Amino acid sequence: MTTTEPTPEIAVDPNAVNLTINGRPVAARKGELIIAAADRSGDYIPRFCYHPRMSPVGMCRQCLVEVEGPRGPMMVVSCMTPVAEGQVVRTETDQVKRAQEGIIELLLANHPLDCPVCDKGGECPLQDQAFSHGPGESRFIEEKRHYEKPIAISDLVLLDRERCILCDRCTRFADEVAGDALIHFTSRGNNTQVQTFPDEPFSSYFSGNTVQICPVGALTAQPYRFKARPWDLEKTESTCTTCSVGCRITLESSRDELLRYQGVDSDPVNHGWLCDKGRFNFESVKSDARLSNPLVRDGGSLVETSWSSALATAASLITSALRAGGASRVAVLGGARGTNEDAHAWAKLATALGIDSVDAQLGDGLPADVLSYPQATIDEAARASTIILLAPDLKEELPILYLRLRDASEKKRSRILEFTAKESGLTRYAWKSVPYLPGTQPAVVATTLSDAAVAAQTAKGSVVVVVGRSNLAESDEYTMAALDAVMAANPSATVLPVLRRGNVRGALTVGLGRRDAVDILADAVNGEIDCLVLVGADPIADCPDTELARRALAAVPNIIAIDTFATASSSKATVLLPAAAFGEKDGTTTNLEGRVTRLARKVTVNGTSRPDWMVALELADILGHDLGVASVADVHADLVSSNAAFAPATRSALSAHPDGVVLERITTTNSARVVPPVAERPGFGYRLVVGRKLYDNGRNVAESPSLAPLAPGSALHMHPLDLERLGATDGASVKVSGDRTSIVMDVVADESVQRGTVWAAWAQPGANVGELIDSTKWVNDVKVETL
Amino acid sequence: MARLSEENVRLAKEIIGRYPRARSATIPLLHLAQQQDGHVTNEAMAHIGELVGATSAEVYGTASFYEMFKFEPVGKYLINICGTMSCALMGAEDLMHHAEHRLGVKLGGTTDDGMFTLERAECQAACTEAPCLQVNYRYRFRVTDADFDSLVDDLKSGRLNDEIPAHGTVARVRQHIPLDRGVGAVPPEDVTEAPAWMDGKAAL
């Protein structure tokens, strides 16, 4: 600012409201509700329906308080009444107590009081407030209302209508927050009940949240039912690493067994919400299929051995590869599923050994330089005037980010401009959804942005580009070129990269993205890699080009894998080391916006599993390299001191800020990209689009008994008119052929698929669409034939 | 039993056009569905959801609030006998017993031939004419047992077809509002001028 005019000091905040609660002056914001102001002033008002993240409805009437009015004190519901200047509020008078006791008595009239067998007993707002604000006895002697109990309203959630107090929290959540209004109040009066539509379950990805916010035990979660009593649970705050949103959670365990995750309200990230995949995949941590001891290949099979001998074998494999052909003959893939410390230790080891073939992604993300664009946080995206989506279906990949952006659109803060090859979960909330044929994205983006109405919109205020890998069967260069097109049209735009693997951003920031995994795997196929280290990576399952990954792993003489499970890739290892899983190790993680938060160890490791960082340190030791660190705290301190981006994420800063610390934003100028050719629509066949569904074949889901059945399975989605042209009917089996091979898939009529394209979900039980993807091609076209 | 017919979809779209927000047409469309099938089918509710942009659960939630929407098949004639104060004092209980015997069903039941469903109703606001009943919501006043019998005979023989249509028909004459006479699909907050039907009288 160069202005010399003195800015006048604002003496009075125009948004400040002064009121009195229980005789004490309280300052509040204009529009704030009395119940929220009272919370801050320490005057707790009992409540059931009020939830700070949802609109107030005044449903339960428990929060009645007395407000001085023109005709004396009046009873008002404090969750519906905004504060006013000079307002006099009393929350503890005899009249208030009488009213609150009356409500409790009324709510308990039909409540079954089966607390001893109820999951909620011990952490139940109704139970607690019946003690603190109830009359202690009831005049109700009649028969209570009876319903069948419980009924399953989805595969994960059960509803006991007898316990329900009709607070409207779950139904409001489903409608307002999740946008899946699949549960609703039905009937009327004494018969009012929460119900789904007949035979249409509450199959929302966010259904678990309703269990957490239910103020009674009406909604219970299948994976946790009757597993523990709340007073037996030990809780620790941590961060979910199922995807890269990094929701804050509590890990809750009893007798050294993880039993439940609950969402923590982190204002910059998850607002207390979790997706069901993140909430319930704790089951995979305690799966019987977990590796518990090191395995070394002896003859044809993997044989259990001690850590010392397994590590010695691993070290000798690395040494002999280094001796035979130098560091170029060793490659490291992975590191995106662990902690920052895991990744940093492996990056240090790779550097010490001179290994350059290192990638945390598996050809399924974006080039690492997407992080060098001007960066945006989730909050900045959810506040932007325009959100431009060059992203996969966020509802399927990063569900809580979907909630945040949906909220931005629904509350009219932001307009969403979406570019997509197939309709996504956000399409219905988008201001404009522009379809494009794979291979034409940069051109379509450039044309759209030059449209006068679009240009007027982007000129209105901040622009955040949400960029990720939307199609695994299309080169990522198209998305990057599209991003460059946006940046050229809007130079002040910022970028929120949505790479999906839990700690992919941390791994790339510490340097685990030196070469593209697809190039590394191609080297392996050519016999140029002697030793491949897989740090929690499964290229056969995760690299879009299945054939490439399979041939690469077959061609590498020695594979060292560190993994929690024997996967398609790790089971091919010469040395397979059991890794500590989420919840079993300390450290920090970095979410997609670069926010570093702490992870907590809650349970002891499975068998003799060790965290990835420890394996790196021990291998370094055997290989004669002193990395100068000996504990997870050392690794963290070394990371903070050696990596400029991590400088703000000191131990003390992380302790002081449970919501995390955002990495230093380091923006570099990128060299111009080779603009890929515009791939024209072929005269024959269909262009392949491969996206993800929330539930898939991944270990997190497949090893969680409650989640595994929810994977939709492999199918080929086609526009109904294309299906008609093909002469096939919905559900028929068709032959899908790429250049290399053919697979048989069931076909599904789906209007959200563009004509001329076919869509399939990645990594589903059944036929593997990865067989059809050739990573060396700009786009992949397939032929579809009836059988 | 199914989704709305092609003709009814056309009607549904006309009805939706009368409202600034499509969802506002939910209840009129439920009546349309009930007129089509005699009761509101699940398929029709799902179809209405598609038409007005609501989930099936939301449509069901709305529909189930109202006593007059039936989710199970009911007879061609739904007979509601009032049992509230005035009618009860004037012999509604006896009338109900007689009706049960005459039709051979209990209150709430439907005759085997699908002609009659018998229900007990709350006050129908005809207390001076007690005991009263409604057949498909058409009144009969000061009903005696003999009146009831002749009513049933008349309904069976078709003598009352002109007066009393089958259950689900709210009115035989359907209201048609040309689109230019409707409020139009403008959200209320965006309306700045008086609607067309006021013919400029708003200034008064």
pLDDT at residue B198 is higher than 70: no
Question: For the residues A337-353, what does the mean pLDDT come to?
Answer: 97
Interface test mutation site (partner A, options B48, B56, B62, B70, max chain A beta carbons within 10 A)? B56
* Cβ atoms of residues A262 and A214 within 8 Å: no
In chain B, what are the domain boundaries?
A: 6-68, 77-157
Nearest Cβ partner for B56 among A185, A187, A197: A197
Length of chain B: 204
Alpha carbon distance B184, B196 (integer Å)? 9
Residue of chain A whose Cα is closest to the Cα of B65: A187
Q: Of B6, B14, B8, B5, nearest to B177 (Cα)?
A: B14
SS3 A150: coil
Region label for B165, one of left (φ > 0), alpha (ψ between -120 and 50) or beta (otherwise): beta
Q: Distance (Å) from the C-alpha of residue A269 to the closest C-alpha of chain B?
A: 28
pLDDT tens digits for range A99-128: 999 999 999 999 999 999 999 999 999 999
Region label for A671, one of left (φ > 0), alpha (ψ between -120 and 50) or beta (otherwise): beta
pLDDT at residue B189 is higher than 80: no
* Alpha-carbon distances of A610 from A71, A257, A731, rounded to whole Å: 70, 18, 46
Q: How confident is the model at residue A1 (pLDDT cuts 50, 70, 90)?
A: very low
Residue with tokens 């069976």: B156
Cα B157 from chain centroid (whole Å): 23
SS3 A22: coil
Q: Of A220, A224, A219, nearest to A169 (Cα)?
A: A219
User: What pLDDT does residue A681 have?
Assistant: 60
pLDDT at residue A65 is higher than 80: yes
* Cβ atoms of residues B79 and B132 within 8 Å: no
The fold of the A686-786 domain, in CATH, is Barwin-like endoglucanases (2.40.40)
**Sign, Cα dihedral of A503, A504, A505, A506:** positive
Q: Distance (Å) from the C-alpha of residue A185 to the closest C-alpha of chain B?
A: 5
pLDDT at residue B183 is higher than 80: no
Nearest Cβ partner for B57 among A182, A187, A188: A182
* Cβ atoms of residues A150 and A43 within 8 Å: no
pLDDT at residue A601 is higher than 90: yes
Q: Which residues pair with A29 in a beta bridge?
A: A16
pLDDT at residue B177 is higher than 60: yes
Residues of A within 8 A of B64 (CB-CB) are: 186-188
Token digits of residue B2? 């199914």
Q: Looking at the complex, does the CB of residue B55 fall below 8 Å from at least one CB of chain A?
A: yes
Q: Distance (Å) from the C-alpha of residue A220 to the closest C-alpha of chain B?
A: 20
User: What pLDDT does residue A3 have?
Assistant: 46
Alpha carbon distance B183, B12 (integer Å)? 16
**Sign, Cα dihedral of A496, A498, A503, A506:** negative
Q: Look over chain B and give the mean of its residue pLDDT values, rounded to a whole number.
A: 90
- CATH superfamily of domain region A382-497: NAD(P)-binding Rossmann-like Domain (3.40.50.720)
DSSP string, A693-714: -SS-SSHHHHT-TTTGGG----
Alpha carbon distance A151, A143 (integer Å)? 21
* Cβ atoms of residues A372 and A667 within 8 Å: yes
SS3 A753: strand
Q: Of A586, A597, A2, A494, nearest to A245 (Cα)?
A: A597
The fold of the B77-157 domain, in CATH, is Glutaredoxin (3.40.30)
Token digits of residue A462? 């901040």
ipTM of this complex prediction, to 2 decimal places:
0.91
Nearest Cβ partner for A184 among B46, B61, B66: B61
* Cβ atoms of residues A591 and A599 within 8 Å: no
Residues of B within 8 A of A197 (CB-CB) are: 42, 45-46, 55-57, 59-60
Burial of A707 from C-beta contacts in 10 A (0-12 / 13-18 / 19+): buried
Q: How confident is the model at residue A163 (pLDDT cuts 50, 70, 90)?
A: very high
Query: Pairing between strand A386-390 and A463-467?
Result: parallel
Token digits of residue A170? 């779950």
Q: Looking at the complex, does the CB of residue B86 fall below 8 Å from at least one CB of chain A?
A: no
Alpha carbon distance B196, B12 (integer Å)? 22
User: What pLDDT does residue A12 have?
Assistant: 66
CA dihedral B21, B26, B28, B31 (to 10 degrees): 170
Nearest Cβ partner for B60 among A180, A184, A188: A184
Question: For the residues A744-768, what does the mean pLDDT come to?
Answer: 96
Cα A220 from chain centroid (whole Å): 22
Backbone angles phi, psi at A758, to 5 degrees: -125, 150
pLDDT at residue A740 is higher than 60: yes
Nearest Cβ partner for B57 among A183, A187, A188: A183
* Cβ atoms of residues A501 and A461 within 8 Å: no
Residue of chain B whose Cα is closest to the Cα of A428: B53
Angle at B77 between CA B74 and CA B80, to 5 degrees: 90
Alpha carbon distance A641, A348 (integer Å)? 13
pLDDT at residue A671 is higher than 80: no
Is B6-68 a domain of CATH 3.40.630.40? Answer: no
Lowest mean pLDDT among A77-91, A290-304, A397-411, A656-670: A656-670
* Cβ atoms of residues B182 and B17 within 8 Å: yes
For chain B, positions 144-183, list CB contacts with chain A under 8 A: none
Alpha carbon distance B141, B128 (integer Å)? 9
Q: How confident is the model at residue B197 (pLDDT cuts 50, 70, 90)?
A: low
Interface test mutation site (partner A, options B52, B60, B190, max chain A beta carbons within 10 A)? B60
* Cβ atoms of residues A585 and A601 within 8 Å: yes
Query: Pairing between strand A193-196 and A151-152?
Result: unpaired
Backbone angles phi, psi at A239, to 5 degrees: -130, 135
**Helices of type H across A303-375:** 307-325, 340-353
- For the domain spanning A16-92, the CATH number is 3.10.20.740
* Alpha-carbon distances of A618 from A44, A283, A360, B117, rounded to whole Å: 53, 30, 21, 81
* Helix, strand, coil % over all residues of chain A, rounded to 5: 30, 20, 45
Query: Higher-confidence residue: A665 or A399?
Result: A399
Q: How confident is the model at residue A14 (pLDDT cuts 50, 70, 90)?
A: confident
Token digits of residue A208? 């678990």
pLDDT at residue A314 is higher than 50: yes
Residues of A within 8 A of B59 (CB-CB) are: 197
User: What pLDDT does residue A676 have?
Assistant: 77
Backbone angles phi, psi at B126, to 5 degrees: -135, 45
Question: For the residues A487-509, what does the mean pLDDT come to?
Answer: 96
Judged by CB atoms closer than 8 Å, whether chains meet at B61 and A196 is answered as no
In chain A, what are the domain boundaries?
A: 16-92, 142-276, 295-365+505-662, 382-497, 686-786
Interface test mutation site (partner A, options B58, B59, B65, B72, max chain A beta carbons within 10 A)? B58
Residues of A within 8 A of B65 (CB-CB) are: 186-188
Length of chain A: 787
Judged by CB atoms closer than 8 Å, whether chains meet at A198 and B46 is answered as no
Please state the pTM of the whole predicted model.
0.94
Residue of chain B whose Cα is closest to the Cα of A189: B65
Q: Looking at the complex, does the CB of residue B69 fall below 8 Å from at least one CB of chain A?
A: no
User: What pLDDT does residue A2 have?
Assistant: 46
Q: Looking at the complex, does the CB of residue B198 fall below 8 Å from at least one CB of chain A?
A: no
Judged by CB atoms closer than 8 Å, whether chains meet at B64 and A187 is answered as yes
Question: For the residues B43-71, what does the mean pLDDT come to?
Answer: 96
Question: For the residues A590-603, what does the mean pLDDT come to?
Answer: 97
A664, amino acid identity: E
* Cβ atoms of residues B136 and B78 within 8 Å: yes
Q: Which residues pair with A736 in a beta bridge?
A: A743, A784
Backbone angles phi, psi at A14, to 5 degrees: -65, -15
Nearest Cβ partner for B55 among A181, A187, A198: A181
DSSP string, A357-374: EEESS-SSS--GGGGGSP
* Alpha-carbon distances of A644 from A510, A596, A635, A638, B135, rounded to whole Å: 10, 14, 15, 11, 82
pLDDT tens digits for range B108-130: 999 999 999 999 999 999 999 99
pLDDT at residue B75 is higher than 50: yes
pLDDT tens digits for range A491-501: 999 999 999 99
Query: Pairing between strand A531-535 and A494-497?
Result: unpaired
DSSP letter (8 states) at residue B138: E
Cα A257 from chain centroid (whole Å): 23
User: What pLDDT does residue A685 have?
Assistant: 86
User: What pLDDT does residue B107 have?
Assistant: 96
Alpha carbon distance B61, A42 (integer Å)? 38
Interface test mutation site (partner A, options B45, B59, B64, max chain A beta carbons within 10 A)? B64
pLDDT tens digits for range A450-483: 999 999 999 999 999 999 999 999 999 999 999 9
Alpha carbon distance A67, A88 (integer Å)? 6
Alpha carbon distance A531, A497 (integer Å)? 31
Alpha carbon distance A631, A614 (integer Å)? 8
Q: What's the Rg (C-alpha) of chain B?
A: 20
Q: What percent of chain A has pLDDT over 70?
A: 97
Residue with tokens 């002891």: A604
Question: For the residues B38-65, what does the mean pLDDT come to?
Answer: 97
* Alpha-carbon distances of A302 from A296, A612, A757, rounded to whole Å: 5, 20, 43
pLDDT at residue B8 is higher than 60: yes
Q: Looking at the complex, does the CB of residue A190 fall below 8 Å from at least one CB of chain B?
A: no
Q: Looking at the complex, does the CB of residue A204 fall below 8 Å from at least one CB of chain B?
A: no
* Cβ atoms of residues B132 and B42 within 8 Å: no
Q: How confident is the model at residue A684 (pLDDT cuts 50, 70, 90)?
A: low
- Cis-peptide into A150, omega within 30 deg: yes
A223, amino acid identity: P
Q: Looking at the complex, does the CB of residue B84 fall below 8 Å from at least one CB of chain A?
A: no
User: What pLDDT does residue B110 have?
Assistant: 96
pLDDT tens digits for range B10-44: 999 999 988 888 999 999 999 999 999 999 999 99
Q: Look over chain A and give the mean of its residue pLDDT values, rounded to a whole number.
A: 94
Q: Distance (Å) from the C-alpha of residue B152 to the closest C-alpha of chain A?
A: 31
Alpha carbon distance A760, A753 (integer Å)? 10
User: What pLDDT does residue A439 have?
Assistant: 92
Q: Of A646, A391, A622, nearest to A509 (Cα)?
A: A646
Alpha carbon distance A543, A547 (integer Å)? 9
pLDDT at residue A136 is higher than 70: yes
CATH number assigned to the domain with residue range A142-276, chosen from the 4 options 3.40.50.12780, 3.30.70.20, 3.90.180.10, 3.90.1150.10:
3.30.70.20
Greatest CA separation found in chain A? 93
* Cβ atoms of residues A577 and A294 within 8 Å: yes
Architecture of domain A295-365+505-662: 3-Layer(aba) Sandwich (3.40)
pLDDT at residue A353 is higher than 90: yes
User: What pLDDT does residue A159 have?
Assistant: 97
Buried b (16+ CB within 10 A) or exposed e, A372-406: ebebbbbbbbbbbbbbbbbbbbbbbbbbbbbbbbb
Q: What's the Rg (C-alpha) of chain A?
A: 28
